[in-house]
Amino acid sequence: MMSDKATSQTSANAPIRVAINGYGNLGRGVELAAQKTPDIEVVTVFTRRDPASLTTLGAPVHHVDNLHCFEGKLDVVINCGGSATDLIDQTPQTTTMFNTVDTFDTHARIPEHFARVDAQARAHDRLTLISTGWDPGLFSLMRCYFGSVLPDGDTYTFWGRGVSQGHGDALRRVPGVANAVQYTVPVEENRQRILGGEHIELTTRAGHRRVCYIVPEDGADLARIQEEIVTMPMYFDQYDTEVNFITAEELARDHSGMPHGGSVIRLGNTSRDTKDVMSFNLDLGSNPEFTGSVALASARAVARLYAAGQRGAITVLDVPPSSFSPKTPADLRATLL
Amino acid sequence: MMSDKATSQTSANAPIRVAINGYGNLGRGVELAAQKTPDIEVVTVFTRRDPASLTTLGAPVHHVDNLHCFEGKLDVVINCGGSATDLIDQTPQTTTMFNTVDTFDTHARIPEHFARVDAQARAHDRLTLISTGWDPGLFSLMRCYFGSVLPDGDTYTFWGRGVSQGHGDALRRVPGVANAVQYTVPVEENRQRILGGEHIELTTRAGHRRVCYIVPEDGADLARIQEEIVTMPMYFDQYDTEVNFITAEELARDHSGMPHGGSVIRLGNTSRDTKDVMSFNLDLGSNPEFTGSVALASARAVARLYAAGQRGAITVLDVPPSSFSPKTPADLRATLL
């Protein structure tokens, strides 16, 4: 167990040394976040690309093939690859040499990923925290607290308003579409009904709608594009989908950000006639910057818990909240309780 | 550190045995909450009153003088006395014999209370979790997560709409007032401005207003009562205060509930032009029932962490979220992440 003493020793030491493995939007978000955390130093960025081709915010860049040269020089490696193809191998591999953090978010495969990474971490005396971020991550934390406090109730999750990369990709595969952005948008009326205390059956259509901004190719048949989109199985056919045609200039000007967010709501009863509503809401200017901030706080927790003797794989559900904070437990008690 | 094994052993064992020490609104809230948690059994209620005078929801009642007779028969004692006079002594005393939980909420005295209880717990090989509930408690958790993830930002807290017992007491001391209820109400316009991304200076008056329902004595001078209330130092003079005169029947009919709630909001920046808003909101039908539910989940965590070897005083900030849940870590990972 982590004592006050162990924590303050960690804080009193040199900064926590982290590496960012992969420098896409998320990797850059982690580096940005580190500019606001004096207790954490980004020692290096690892990349599969030519290191000379990367422009970071200041962190040195090394090729990922040289990762092993940093053994013993890093407290935590934050794996910033994609879930689909990168992290499933990257995290078990890097965990043979380093404590690690990842944002693996393929919900259905988390138990399998956890088991693989846990085995590697235990075999190599490391600590790894997987699947951090906001969903999975902060939203998972809330679902855990909410269900523990109000066992008699329902949990609802809404995502957005935010850009869904997967749906944007699907739109761009439609013939005649030059470029596209798709926003996932909660059905606000139903969200408000739940917040107001009404248990409702949240079908796919009742929960979210989809708003598309399409730049058509010259001379494309707009009616046909619209029809192909709204009837596209799985992606759009089960939703109310709005299709807007705009110019490339409008897309660049109005839709190049990566906002996202969402809510977790618990509607429960503490006694027969007594309802209680707990809710958590995120309204994020930048999805990758915020996810990077959560990953960086998670790296702090890993460094702390590793110093206190913890090994194997963990998730945010296993981390004492105080471990995410740069402040000492005594300071937190005096200021936050 | 708590392993999956330790947890599932706890879950596989007989129910967690708790006692409720003090049977006011909060004690009754804990007993109600236990009706929804099959893994927890309320073994007994302790009272300073004549045990025969208490009507519980089913739990046996014993006089608090016989508390020592239950040594070895309880996993956790939940102290449900008031902060002002009871808990400051009750928790250190009961912690000499039992693992304990309390809802001590005199914010300024928490470090002192923590130190006293921690010393007793360590001397007697016990674990105690103090100052749980929703503020301090869940709100403290949120402040910790929010500040850790978005270090560059401001945290705002709003309380209400809810009944403030202390302000009601102050109203009842005004000559000519037969009975009274006071609601603390957030200034919704300013709350929405912050949720919308605007950093504002939240003065006392800008944060909350006070709404009073007064039953005057026959023939009382209503104008004088109103003037005494709105100018009352500390309690009302720094707020916009609304005074409503009603009948005893209206008070009983419309204002006998104990609703409460509030919000914690973090408004931060992940980069210069990128704002992120995190918020947590509670809308509680019954303050004591909800606080009782949080206390009961905290008792589960204490039983778990004690079984895993933890000793001394802790707060919710030190507890891995999974410890509050009746589910196993593997189940939580599969269903909540």
pLDDT at B279: 98
Name every chain A residue with its beta carbon within 8 A of the beta carbon of B284: 276-277
Is B309–A277 a contact, with Cβ atoms under 8 angstroms apart? no
pLDDT at A85: 83
pLDDT at B5: 39
Sign of CA dihedral A82, A83, A84, A87: positive
The mean pLDDT value for A48-65 works out to 97
pLDDT at B83: 81
pLDDT at A6: 40
Pairing relationship of beta strands A61-63 and A76-79 according to DSSP bridges: unpaired
pLDDT at A10: 47
What residues contact residue A16 under an 8 Å CB cut-off, 6+ apart? A10, A39, A40, A41, A75, A76, A299, A300, A303
**B293 interfaces chain A, CB cutoff of 8 Å:** yes
Question: Above 80 in pLDDT, residue A3?
Answer: no
Residue recorded with tokens 């005004």: B174
Residue recorded with tokens 């004591």: B288
> Cis omega (within 30 of 0) on the bond before B326?
no
pLDDT at A12: 53
Q: pLDDT band at residue A13, thresholds of 50, 70 and 90?
A: low
pLDDT of A217-230, one tens digit each?
A: 999 999 999 999 99
Instruction: Average the pLDDT over each of A12-16, A74-78, B145-149 and give the range with the smallest value.
Output: A12-16
- CA A303 – CA A46 distance, rounded (Å): 19
Question: Above 80 in pLDDT, residue A122?
Answer: yes
The whole-chain average pLDDT of chain A stands at: 95
pLDDT in tens, chain B (337 residues): 334 434 444 445 689 999 999 999 999 999 999 999 999 999 999 999 999 999 999 999 999 999 999 999 999 999 999 887 899 999 999 999 999 999 999 999 999 999 999 999 999 999 999 999 999 999 999 999 999 999 999 999 999 999 998 899 999 999 999 999 999 999 999 999 999 999 999 999 999 999 999 999 999 999 999 999 999 999 999 999 999 999 999 999 999 999 999 999 999 999 999 999 999 999 999 999 999 999 999 999 999 999 999 999 999 999 999 999 999 999 999 999 9
3-state secondary structure of B138: helix
Residues A278 and B281 sit within 8 Å (Cβ to Cβ): yes
Instruction: Average the pLDDT over each of A2-6, A195-199, A268-272, B85-89 and give the range with the smallest value.
Output: A2-6
User: DSSP assignment of A107-173, as one string?
Assistant: GGGHHHHHHHHHHHHHHTT-EEE-S-SBTTBHHHHHHHHHHHH--SEEEEEEE-SEE-HHHHHHHHT
**A24 interfaces chain B, CB cutoff of 8 Å:** no
Nearest to A140 among B138, B319, B336 (CB): B336
For B197, name the nearest residue in chain A, comparing CA atoms only.
A283
A-contacting residues of B 188-217, CB under 8 Å? 195, 197
What is the ipTM for the molecules in this complex? 0.94
